[in-house]
Structure 1
Amino acid sequence: MGIFLVRSSLTPFDKNQQEKLIRSGKQTIHIQSQSDNSYFLANQKIALFHFATDNYFYSTKDQIYVNQSESKIISVTIIQGYCWSSTTIGSTGKILTAFDIYLLLSKNNFDAEKVRDLLAGEYAIIHASDDGNVIAFNDRLSIEHIYYSKNKNISSITNRIALLPHIDDQYEYNLEAMLALPVVGYMLGEDTYIKGISRLAQGAVIKLQNGDLKVNENKDWIYQNAPSKSEVKNPEVFNSIVEQGINECLANIKAIFSSADNIPLALTGGKDSRLILALALQAGLRDKLRLFTNGIEEHPDVIVAKKLANHLKLPHTTNKPGRFREPTLAAEELLRRLATHVFQNDGMFGAWDLKQGKQCVKGLVLAGFIGEVFKGYLKKPFNYPTMPNPEQMISAHGPFDPLGILKEDIRRKISTKVLNRMENYLGLGSEFNDIPDLYYIKERIPNWLGTARRKDADSNQVVMPINSTGLIRLAFALNAPQRQQELIHFAMLRRLEPSLLEIPFAQQTWHRGLTAYGASNSIFKDPIPAPKNLPQHGSWQHTINKNPKFRAAIFEILADYTQSPLWELIDRQKTLNTIKTVGFNMPQMISAFGLMTIFFKVHNIKIPQKALFANSSGFKTEDSVIIKDVKSGKLFNFNQDKKNRLTEKIDSNIKPIIVARKAMALIPGGENTGELSFEGFVDSENSNFIPGWVWCLDFPFMQLTVEVLENGKIIDRIVAGQFRGDLKKAGKGNGHHAFRYDTKGKPVESLRFRVMDTAFELKKSGGRK
């Protein structure tokens, strides 16, 4: 894992000044670096900085190569992410280091497009030469991000946006771009949260010469060297391309596991993990496979995974979740995580799953997300004879502005932006019915999957064995109904491991349309359903609907900033009313956490907590950050591995990170969100199943999380969400506030029930109340 920054100026940099700036800027990176390097080239007109940590594939030395003759530096090459040869033919089956990339660039006359054709993986590559030339490019899907800007006489290229506004005060927030997080859940296009800083588009290359930065775009990369829609109607052509795609995937597998003794492979109930399993078997890795699934025994993913393992006679492990069936976080803890998320994810990714790293480790995780590119983004049949309406098209998959808080003029602007983006998708051989799937690959892949990868890479190297340019191009040579039928998945499994076609899936099955391509009726099995009331989501979702203290806290934060510039774009009163009165469904939860992300970012409600190394690594974990309380103006030293984290500092020659008072309070202990009113009872007479109910008068729509205590110790958590008509009739919220707890033989008198994150205990009644 590495963070790089290249600055190019028309005039020489002051070396001492730049190094002082970067010492200050280093505070803004979200990882603790093991290796810090700075280089000055082209008569000090190019300044290059690199901060790196070891990861699963690379040591810090592997991520950078310095070509020098005696004491003179000729060039510097950096790789972030991972890459290898894109085909099995001629593949060494090993990860390519920065030195290997330098050799490839040299052999190909530093032509980034030619080199990119030779690579597979997720990577960002930058090469700076002493002659004043810099080139930068990334994987075609732009999963590894590169950002660039030209400010005054300085051009900058980096993969950590926060570095730029910290060392240069000339930047301002791009509020309209940031609103994409609550509107659709991720950024749109190549905009970032800072005006003048852009993400490198898919297929593009940066060329910087003597301070002049240019971006060579290639919006048609999907259709270049790709078969036409008419050509793939020929079964021989189609099968030949599938075979090439399989070879690309096998090259991925070979490189990923070339030196692994054991291969942990997560199985789910879907098609992507099954396809990865088939590829691993084809690659001869059967004896190294260690299959596992996360979940409870009743979960359909676990049931399907066990069927697969039994069929193949392979061992399988089920990793069961923690003891609490309904995980809900305390308000203070969730606020702290949210503020840390905003810092670590650079404000570019909504906190819908709270991606943040506590430690830098060297793990490996296989993922199949790219398989969605081969499928249909919209699952229901559709036909677009003309350009689709952007809001309607997005809403067919996930709501557009699910909270309904945008002001009308900004809603029109964002819709127009998406429409312009969609018109730009149309290229060689594309048609209107390709727009939904082009939207997925052009918007969701880089801005959702790619941005999330910024944090995934801290704790684990996430790899996608089925990431194949050839298969992506084949997907868009097919028509929309063929993608919806998941023809590529079917064809690959039929070729690799046909017996796996007949094992059922979790909550899905094969499309009947595949009979036209030779599918046997025996593969159309009923899906394994999810049991009723099976928890489907993580702790954060339960918290926003089941912990009124957290709702009260975010309501207070939004209400306190009466002059926030965001209120010029979103309806303040409607936003506050929605937070106060609405129980959120999934899209609304995603939108709410997107809103909190941008709100926290704009108002500096962030905790600059880095992902640190474990003490067992032998590396010193202490990494202090100088922060400034925006309200008092005082400086503090944020000692990240100390229990007493904040110590006041008199002065500093390092530019501090500005932090709001609300975040400062979360570091040592959190804020008091005020008292809430509750009412609730449990029936003490029934010894087998204890009925009860509880509701919050301040948030009457919420279904509360209740802790069960035995002798003062929490033994379980339940949700008071069952409906009772008598409660509704009595005016107790919406009536969905009851529960029935199985004591499992425990004596009733030893149990107490308390609303989580509060001191409120339910009273015991002599009978039903």
Structure 2
Amino acid sequence: MTDDLIELNRPPLVPRTHPFSDFVIAQGPLRSRLTEMDGLRKIELGAADLHLRGRIQAIEDGLFMGVAPIAGELLVGTMPYSRKTPLGGKIRNGLTGQYVNMARKAGGSLTIGGDCFGMVPLFLWRGEAGALLSSQLHLIAIALNAAGLPVRVDLSSMIGAWFVDNSLAIQQSTRAALIEGAEMIRADEEVVISKDGLHLHASEPQTHEPVTRDEYKDLIKVGAQEIRDNLSAVVNSGRHTVATLTGGRDSRMIFAGLVSLGLEREVAFSTRDIDDGDMQIATGLVSRYGGAFEAQRVPYSTLPVDPRRSFDRHRSTFFGAYHDYKGVGGAAVDDKHTIALIGGCGEVYRGFLSRRYDADLVARPFSRENFEALVAGHASWKKFFPEEAGDLWREALFETMAGLPGETLADRLEEHYFHFRNRLHFGASSTAAHPGRLPVNPLMSPTLKTLAARVPASVRASGAIVFDVTRELDETVAYLPYAKSGPEAFSAHGFHTPSRYDGAPPSLEPDLDLWQAAARKRSGLRLNKPPYRSREAYNAAMTAALFERLADDARVGPFVTPKLQRRFSWLQRDKKKFRTVWLSRLASAHDVLSYN
């Protein structure tokens, strides 16, 4: 391990790939302080300036970047891919997709928002000098530095990631971002910039009014149709489409949607054993309904990629907002014509965070007292930090959850999942996880999001919504075997409608030869990962260097205790995943400090 390989560098800005671009919007007095900035060109937009690198779609009343199924077509980046009809005037905030929309209004004002699930998270910095808005927190640090303004670590956000070692904090867990003065705006908010200043506007709060049995059935039908519309726009776009298929519930919804449209033979499937039996079930589904597994040559970069370059890419892309670092060392050759259908958003409909806590506890109303009972379960970490760390984390998390809708702790936890983990894991992270391909979440449905908030927590946690949508799409597909819980678990609730398959589900015959034959045809170059030992050595050396650097900082140093360092040594030995999670957490704090 050479010294230059573990140098504590400031990571370079990693450009986003089509159909996303690097951008930061400046408002207020600091506009005059930002001229040339890291290769971004300046575009005046009336009440604000757009600093942009890459392309952006000019539409009837504004600018657009990303991907969206609109009016039966797939809009990708700079044009509707099928090129059938103009889409001007049909694009607005709050549709399905993964995009940012900048709409110009009368009087020179600008409204910036995105899709209904906020799958391109936006970060907003506000101060006396004005405001900055970007989908990349790293660009906000660069802009502040270019304007001669300080870039400081937000301690509450930092501790929000350090204090808890579970899925609540693998990504940003508080509204405050890692840069002091910056925040990640909610999925239901949009930014309005005018001559009067900058304001955040939120849509109507999510209702949690209990749903009736008839309403449940109607909303299931509407949600299923929204998924069909998403799938139809993607598959009929003419692009090569690959869908992940496992034994799980979310990929089954996608498969059922394809079957209901008669499009299962128009996509290629990919699979792997996430859980026992995934490959058997996936091959059984393809054998029964037709279709094929991905057999195209998959070109990969042949350039050697060292661990530092790999980690620098992660650091720049997320800059403290997401810490599930995979340690991948190569990248696929850009393949702009392939779409990857992924199962993101399914957990929004069946619950995620609330299922990790005691059911009786999360059923309580949201209050300060009940919140304290909830976070008391994380008290084991108190001994690794000074007392003020726990206070910082609790106050920041309580303020974040208090700003979310919902009557119970379970409601607030699932809203937290929706506004944080779902957007960063299946949104921002998905483009990094599928290099060179365009990931699309076809399960995105505003109707099902509302339904999930209106059913009892026990119904949501049972997976009933996901199962009933799958059943609405294709009943037989819904009742075929799953890798884990079967239909009997999903249908044991008061909204269930009897089926001919209740108690006698259809069977499935695996055909592993289908997968193996496709695998033999895929003869592209292998992903060029650094050797495992090289990555492990780099991670260990980098971690030691980061602890030393952070311990010397006047503000961060008090939180880098010897007990924490010993705790990390234990995590390195016993919890492999958290080796790289903690590496990301430490590096992100360093990266903010590097601008001081």
Equivalent residue number for residue 368 of structure 1: 343
Identify if the C-alpha distance between structure 1 residues 385 and 576 changes in structure 2 by more than 3 Å, giving closer, same or farther. Answer: closer
In 2, Cα distance between equivalents of 1:404 and 1:441: 31
Tell me if structure 1 keeps the 8 A contact 2:224–2:469.
yes
Asked if residue 596 in structure 1 is aligned to residue 562 in structure 2, the reply is no
Which among 160, 164, 168 is matched to residue 147 of structure 2? 168
What do residues 295-324 of structure 1 show as CA deviations (whole Å, max 9, x unaligned)?
A: 59x952212111212222433359999xxx
SS across alignment from 1:198: strand
Counterpart of 2:386 in structure 1 is: 407
- Structure with the larger helix share: 2
CA–CA distance in structure 2, aligned partners of residues 360 and 367 of structure 1: 18
Q: 5+ residue gaps in structure 2?
A: 1-19, 80-85, 299-303, 511-526
Q: CA 1:153–1:130 in 2, change beyond 3 Å: closer, same or farther?
A: farther
Secondary structure in 2 matching 1:522: coil
Matched, 1:278 2:259: no
Is 1:143 the equivalent of 2:119?
yes
C-alpha deviation, 1:580, in angstroms: 3.8
Tell me, in whole angstroms, the C-alpha distance in 2 between the residues paired with 1:347 and 1:209: 30
Q: CA deviation at 1:495?
A: 2.0
State which of 32, 37, 40 in structure 1 corresponds to 2:44: 40
Question: For residue 203 of structure 1, what is the aligned residue in structure 2?
Answer: 188
Matched, 1:178 2:167: no
- Partner residue in 2 for 1:684: none
Deviations 1:13-36 (A, max 9, x none): 66xx75xx33x333xxxxxxxxx7
392 and 285 in structure 1: CA distance in 2 versus 1, 3 angstrom threshold: farther
Alignment correspondent of 1:522:
504
The correspondence for 1:2, drawn from 21, 31, 35, is: 21
Check 1:257–1:319 CA distance in 2 against 1; reply closer, same or farther (3 A cut).
Answer: closer
In structure 2, relative to structure 1, the CA distance for the partners of 1:486 and 1:353 (3 Å cut) is same
**Conserved 8 A contact 1:341-1:355:** no
Shift of 1:104: 4.0
Is contact 1:366–1:462 with CA below 8 Å preserved after alignment? yes
> Match of 1:103, SS?
coil
Pick aligned residue for 2:101 from 122, 125, 128: 125
Letter in 1 for 2:38: G
Give distance in 1, aligned partners of 2:562 and 2:384: 9
Pairs aligned (count) = 526
Q: Note if 1:294 corresponds to 2:279.
A: no
Letter in 2 for 1:585: K
Matched position secondary structure for 1:459: coil
3-state SS of the aligned residue for 1:279?
helix
CA distance in 1 between partners of 2:116 and 2:187 (Å): 5
- Structure 1: tracts of 5 or more residues without a match: 27-35, 53-59, 68-74, 86-90, 106-114, 322-329, 529-537, 605-657, 660-769
Distance 1:9 1:345 in 2: 26
| Cα 1:130/1:521, change in 2 over 3 Å | closer
The aligned counterpart of 2:486 is: 509
1:208: how far off? Answer: 1.2
SS in structure 2 at match of 1:492: helix
Supply the AA of the counterpart residue of 2:206.
I
Q: Secondary structure at the match of 2:491?
A: helix
Give me the whole-angstrom Cα distance separating, in 1, the residues matched to 2:436 and 2:554.
35
Equivalent in 559, 582, 587 of residue 570 of structure 1:
559
TM-score by structure 1 length?
A: 0.60
Q: Rg larger in 1 or in 2?
A: 1
Q: Distance in 2 between the 1:141 and 1:394 partners?
A: 27
* Greater relative CO, 1 or 2 (CA 8 Å, sep 6+): 2
What amino acid is the match of 1:558?
F
TM-score for the superposition, normalised by structure 2: 0.76
- The residue correspondences of 1:560-709 to structure 2 (distance < 5 A) are 561-565=550-554, 567-582=556-571, 583-585=573-575, 588-589=578-579, 591-604=581-594
Residue from 231, 247, 254 that aligns with 1:269: 247
Task: Determine if the alignment matches structure 1 residue 78 to structure 2 residue 63.
Answer: yes
Q: Is the 8 A contact 1:355 1:455 kept in 2?
A: no
Q: Which residue of 1 aligns with 2:524?
A: none
Residues 142 and 202, structure 1, Cα contact 8 Å, conserved in 2: yes
Give 1:550 deviation, angstroms: 4.1
With over 3 angstroms needed to count, the CA separation of the structure-2 counterparts of 1:39 and 1:419, relative to structure 1, is closer
Conserved? CA contact 2:124–2:183, under 8 Å: yes
Question: Which residue of structure 2 lines up, in the alignment, with residue 95 of structure 1?
Answer: 75
Q: Which residue of 1 aligns with 2:466?
A: 489
Give the alignment partner of residue 200 of structure 2, picking from 195, 215, 219.
Answer: 215
Aligned equivalents of 1:512, 1:504: Cα separation in 2: 12
| Alignment-derived partner of residue 334 in structure 1 | 307
The structure whose residues are more often strand, as a share, is: 1
Partner of 1:250: 228
Supply the AA of the counterpart residue of 1:103.
G
- The 5 Å alignment of 1:463-482 reads 463-482=440-459
Tell me, in whole angstroms, the C-alpha distance in 2 between the residues paired with 1:137 and 1:274.
31
How far apart, in 1, do the equivalents of 2:308 and 2:538 lie? Answer: 11
Q: Is the 8 A contact 1:555 1:580 kept in 2?
A: no
SS at match of 2:149: coil
Specify whether residues 455 and 549 from structure 1 end up closer, same or farther in structure 2 by C-alpha distance, changes over 3 A only.
closer
Distance (Å, rounded) in 1 between the aligned partners of 2:48 and 2:297: 52
Cα shift at 1:473: 0.3
How big is the shift at 1:511?
4.9
Structure 2 contact 153–593 (Cα < 8 Å) conserved: no
- RMSD across aligned positions (CA): 4.0
| Whole-angstrom CA distance in 1 between matches of 2:238 and 2:67 | 16
Question: Residues of 2 paired with 1:153 and 1:412: CA distance?
Answer: 30
Q: Among 374, 377, 382, which residue is 2:359 paired with?
A: 382
C-alpha displacement of 1:559? 2.8
